[in-house]
């Protein structure tokens, strides 16, 4: 994928053709959106993150010839956008912060009996680096090699973080 002339989509993006961006959206918006929701825990923030990815792509479109893996590149951009949005909102885990207040105020949560709700809470309690891997792997549908490329770590590290995240989730979910 290093030669944009070989990929009509990359060539269209590099030339700034709107239909190429539309095709890219249709191909990647779903995984990007799910990954953003998993990273940010908010649908509204996820929308902002996905939009930021595409706007950033417009700005960097002439650099796309250097992109080795477009999917990994998009998710690396998504991760940076999510970090910026989270920083702007003054909270890396807004829902976790919200849950803390709710737990103090209201005692047991209403979704404690709901496995999906418990799983979601357990997921948001993971360390950021493990939550990122789960978000990119399961919600974004990336391979470990792509996760590694997006995060700037080795594939073994990505796989380790994923395994540790699952074990931690199982421990939390089993409580």
Partner 1 sequence: MPSKNSGPPSGNEGEPLPPELAELERLLTQRAPAGPPAGLRPRVLAAVRDGLAVQRKAARRRSPWLLAGQLAAALLLCLNFALCLEARGDASPVGVDEKHVAAVAAELSRLEPGMSEGEARRMALLVCAAPPAPAPDGGLPPDAVFDALRGALWGTH
Residues interacting with partner 1, by CB under 8 A? 16, 18, 21-22, 25, 29-30, 32-34, 37-38, 43, 46-47, 50-51, 54-55, 57-59, 115-116, 119-120, 123, 134, 137-139, 143-144, 156, 159-164, 166-170, 173
Tokens of 167: 């074990």
> Which residue number, 21 or 107, has a Cβ lying nearer to partner 1?
21
Minimum distance from CB of 104 to partner 1 (Å)? Answer: 26
**Residue 153 DSSP code:** S
- Give the CA-trace dihedral at 120, 83, 148, 143, to 10 degrees: 50
**Residue 64 DSSP code:** G
Minimum distance from CB of 82 to partner 1 (Å)? Answer: 15
Minimum distance from CB of 22 to partner 1 (Å)? Answer: 6
C-alpha–C-alpha distance, residues 130 and 134, integer Å: 6
> Which residue number, 46 or 93, has a Cβ lying nearer to partner 1?
46
> Which residue number, 2 or 114, has a Cβ lying nearer to partner 1?
114
> Which residue number, 79 or 137, has a Cβ lying nearer to partner 1?
137
**Residue 60 DSSP code:** T
Apex 168 CA angle, 148 and 44, nearest 5: 65
Q: How far is CA 68 from the centre of its chain?
A: 19
Minimum distance from CB of 112 to partner 1 (Å)? Answer: 16
């Amino acid at each position: 994928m290093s030669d944009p002339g070989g990929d009509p989509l990359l060539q269209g993006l590099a030339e700034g053709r709107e239909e190429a961006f539309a095709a890219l959206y249709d191909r990647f918006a779903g995984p990007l959106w799910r990954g953003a929701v998993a990273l940010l825990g908010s649908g509204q923030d996820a929308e902002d993150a996905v939009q930021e990815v595409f706007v950033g792509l417009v700005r960097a479109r002439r650099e796309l010839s250097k992109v080795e893996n477009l999917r990994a590149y998009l998710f690396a951009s998504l991760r940076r956008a999510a970090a910026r949005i989270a920083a702007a909102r003054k909270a890396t885990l807004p829902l976790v912060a919200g849950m803390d207040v709710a737990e103090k105020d209201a005692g047991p949560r209403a979704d404690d009996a709901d496995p999906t709700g418990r799983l979601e809470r357990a997921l948001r309690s993971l360390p950021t680096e493990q939550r990122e891997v789960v978000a990119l792997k399961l919600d974004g549908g990336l391979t470990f090699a792509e996760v590694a490329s997006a995060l700037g770590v080795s594939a073994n590290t990505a796989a380790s973080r994923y395994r540790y995240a699952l074990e931690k989730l199982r421990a939390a979910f089993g409580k």
